Amino acid sequence: MRWGRCLICCIAVTWGAGCAPVHVVSVLSPHEARHEGALTPPLTVIVDSASVRLPVTVAGAAVAYADVDRVLEDAVLSASLPAIARRGGERRYELFVEIVEARAEYSGGRLVFELTTRATLRDRNGNTYIAQTHARSRASRTVPPEGGASEVRTVAETIGTELAGWILGLEVRAPLG
């Protein structure tokens, strides 16, 4: 009987904690530059977040970060577009970035935010596979969880810079045909 009562208490506490109200914070900058309206840009970035739960809940706090996928898309496009432009030519590319893992934790006054991604570059003409890589970044700072948007943007920008360097290092050949 004693163990049964402990189990019921444990379930009640867990259920109660899971139902706590969560403050959702958008991580978009108020001056976020969206790359819309360009006439056929040489690069399209698509971010897939199906493998993770969005908004990203901060473990240890009643906060969740919204728009992580949009911030990542903007950061990757901003960093990678000049890399594609430096390649020259008329080819058009698609960079498919899958968020494989998103983790946020708040403990002892310190916020940690981490993203792991898998990126696949394809030629838009015929959907030809070119290459695939992983990119991961982590940021940590003593900040209240409600103020963690800059850490999320830092992580996204680091991943964007890493992917841009990867694109510059690729030896992309013209498709046979």
Task: Dump pLDDT digits (tens) for 17-44.
Answer: 455 668 999 999 876 555 555 467 899 9
| pLDDT band per the 50, 70, 90 thresholds, residue 176 | very low
Angle of helix 149-169 versus helix 68-87 axis, rounded to 10: 30
Task: Dump pLDDT digits (tens) for 141-166.
Answer: 999 999 999 999 999 999 999 999 99
Let me know: does 147 contact 165? Beta carbons within 8 Å. Answer: no
Residue 165 belongs to a domain: yes
Residue 5 belongs to a domain: no
* Higher-pLDDT residue of 74, 89: 74
Q: DSSP character for 172? A: P
d(CA 117, CA 76): 11
**Residue 130, domain CATH:** 3.40.50.10610
Q: Which has the closest alpha carbon to 86: 158, 14, 172?
A: 172
Let me know: does 175 contact 128? Beta carbons within 8 Å. Answer: yes
Residue 118 belongs to a domain: yes
What is the DSSP track for 21-34? Answer: --EEEE-S-TT---
* Averaged pLDDT of the chain: 84
Q: How many domains does the chain have?
A: 1
Residue 174 belongs to a domain: no
At residue 33, the pLDDT reads: 52
Of 30-39, 91-100, 106-115, the one with minimum mean pLDDT is 30-39
- Both tokens of residue 112? 């940690």
Give this prediction's pTM: 0.81
Task: Dump pLDDT digits (tens) for 113-136.
Answer: 999 999 999 998 888 999 999 999
* Higher-pLDDT residue of 100, 88: 100
pLDDT at 14 exceeding the cut of 70: no
Residue 140 belongs to a domain: yes
Residue 89 belongs to a domain: yes
Q: Which has the closest alpha carbon to 168: 133, 126, 139, 136?
A: 133
pLDDT at 7 exceeding the cut of 90: no
Residue 94 belongs to a domain: yes
Q: Are strands 110-123 and 93-107 parallel, antiparallel or unpaired?
A: antiparallel
At residue 84, the pLDDT reads: 84
Residue 145 belongs to a domain: yes
Determine the structural domain holding residue 99 and report its residue range.
22-29+40-169
